[in-house]
Amino acid sequence: MEYIEKSAAQIAHDVRTRVRSAAEVTDATLAHVESVEGAVGAYLTVLADSARAHAARVDERVRNGEKLALAGVPVAVKDNMCLDGSRTTCGSKILERWIAPYTATAVARMLEAGAVPIGKANCDEFAMGSSCENSALGVTRNPYDLTRVPGGSSGGSAAAVAAYEAALGMGSDTGGSIREPGAFCNLVGFKPTYGRISRYGLIAFASSLDQIGPLARTVEDAALAYDAMAGFDPMDATTVDRPVEAAAGALREDLRGLRVGMVREFDSAALGAALDALYRAAYRDLERLGAELVEVSLPTAAYGVATYYLIAPAECSSNLARFDGVRYGLRVEGDDVRSMYDRTRAAGFGPEVKRRILIGTHALSSGYYDAYYVRAQKARTLIAGDFERAFAQCDLIACPAASCPAFEFGAKSDPYSMYLMDYYTIPMALAGLPALSVPCGWTTPEGGRVPMPVGLQLCAPLFAEKLLLGAARAYEAATGHALARRPELESVRA
């Protein structure tokens, strides 16, 4: 148990220097997964045989002198990313038995760097949700309080890393689906610039918003994963053919010379006294590390949620039209083709996916396209313009990562309150900006039994990942919030 709690950087160093083998790390991780997975539920599919085969290949490559950045590092792969020969479900009944015939570019790059895939991690169905409660195939629990959600949609990847069932998690972020589970599970959740990491092999939710990124226990680990995945891919026309600045070797010790923007419209007092105190303390820590705090304004950010919930469902409606029982996935027979379509989609999609398909189809329909979808795209342009003007006055922006800590299952059963969970993360997604959540303290929620983690969101201009990760590392090292508590796993080990 003690060894698998090491960082990805430490594990990779030990495997490269042959202090331990990738096979030993993999066996220890799989044994721990078997011990706690029944309580945590991070994975939909555990790939034990495949993981051991990958580990053997890593050990052979190390013996042959290859310097692998992620040698032997156990990784949880969100189950909306293809991995050749593995079940890839998107947390949906419609793909429950679908086997991927190829591997997503981002996953392939992680494996090429030496990572070992432990399993396919649970997620909200087709990545639509903020709590991981929308999965049709399993329940994932927050390792810090098993009565609470891990966040979503990348909840399985986050829970796996927090519970030491993997050292790194691969997630996707459309409106906050890496950053929010990062905040809920005491992790670094990092969404790079849109187009920086290939989406080839990521089953699409909203194509103009989806972005793959890592979940990790340290900023250095997140940087190592980012460096492995980032870069142009001819298989994805939305990736940007621009050199990647390596981030892992350029982490900072302080914030001297940086201007950090405090968003006038993101007043943390609205979150209650406990969270307000935590965020104000975090901003003081930034200042103590040498940053100059400056006020900036994002006047259209308040329209982010409304804008997002027109654009994302519209793209979802288009992307999910392919799941009709004809080519792959679930097929429910009917009297004719139309009946087969209706029965397949009714049985295969869950309530939240159906809700978003209906919203998106309406927004794209004749007579409503200009009134809804086109206006939302115009609002998106205004939001991006506000960020551009804000970054003329600062180098980074700091604000909350979520509007509350992890909540109990069923506490936000109405869609409206759930959609508002992404209030602070959606504007960055609409603008395509790199952003991350880094642990910034602990608070005991009302009625809660133990303190739960809280995340500080940092956001940077387009393609400024190196700056963003460097600043987050300085804050992490100076505060040490992530080390304050451990997940509650001893009571559930088999």
Can you read off the two tokens belonging to residue 99?
A: 């086997």
Position of tokens 């654009």? 311
Residue 218 pLDDT: 98
Round to whole Å and give the CA distance between 259 and 386.
Answer: 17
173: DSSP letter = E
Round to whole Å and give the CA distance between 128 and 122.
Answer: 12
Round to whole Å and give the CA distance between 15 and 59.
Answer: 8
Rg (alpha carbons) of the chain, rounded to whole number: 21
Torsion of CA 22, 115, 159, 78, to 10 degrees: -140
Determine the residue type at 335.
D
Phi-psi region of 78 (alpha: psi -120 to 50; beta: other; left: phi over 0): beta
Residue 491 pLDDT: 67
What's the average pLDDT block by block, 10 residues per block, for the chain (494 residues)? 90 98 98 97 98 98 98 98 98 98 98 98 98 98 98 98 98 98 98 98 98 98 98 98 93 96 95 97 98 98 97 98 93 96 97 97 94 96 98 98 96 91 97 98 94 98 98 98 91 63
Q: Which helix (H) or strand (E) holds 170?
A: strand 168-173
Of 239, 219, 238, nearest in space to 229 by CA: 239
Structural contact between residues 11 and 167, judged by C-beta atoms closer than 8 angstroms: yes
Can you read off the two tokens belonging to residue 296?
A: 């900036």
Residue 401 pLDDT: 98
Based on DSSP, count helices (H) and strands (E) in the chain, helices before strands: 15, 11
Q: What are the start-end ranges of the H helices in 273-408?
A: 273-288, 304-319, 337-348, 351-364, 375-391
Task: Give the count of beta carbons closer than 10 Å to the beta carbon of residue 391.
Answer: 20
Residue 350 pLDDT: 98
CATH architecture of 3-254+470-483: Alpha-Beta Complex (3.90)
Phi-psi region of 65 (alpha: psi -120 to 50; beta: other; left: phi over 0): left
Distance of CA 332 to the CA centre of its chain: 33
Structural contact between residues 115 and 107, judged by C-beta atoms closer than 8 angstroms: no
Of 116, 107, 104, nearest in space to 4 by CA: 116
Determine the residue type at 165.
E
Structural contact between residues 411 and 435, judged by C-beta atoms closer than 8 angstroms: no
Of 264, 217, 219, 213, nearest in space to 398 by CA: 264
Position of tokens 């451990």? 486
Q: What are the start-end ranges of the H helices in 45-162?
A: 48-63, 105-112, 155-162
Distance of CA 14 to the CA centre of its chain: 27
Residue 250 pLDDT: 84
Can you read off the two tokens belonging to residue 152?
A: 């979503």
Of 55, 53, 52, 33, nearest in space to 44 by CA: 33
Round to whole Å and give the CA distance between 292 and 360.
Answer: 42
Structural contact between residues 364 and 320, judged by C-beta atoms closer than 8 angstroms: no
Q: Which helix (H) or strand (E) holds 476?
A: helix 465-479
Round to whole Å and give the CA distance between 225 and 171.
Answer: 11
Positions marked active-site: 78, 153, 177
Round to whole Å and give the CA distance between 275 and 454.
Answer: 8
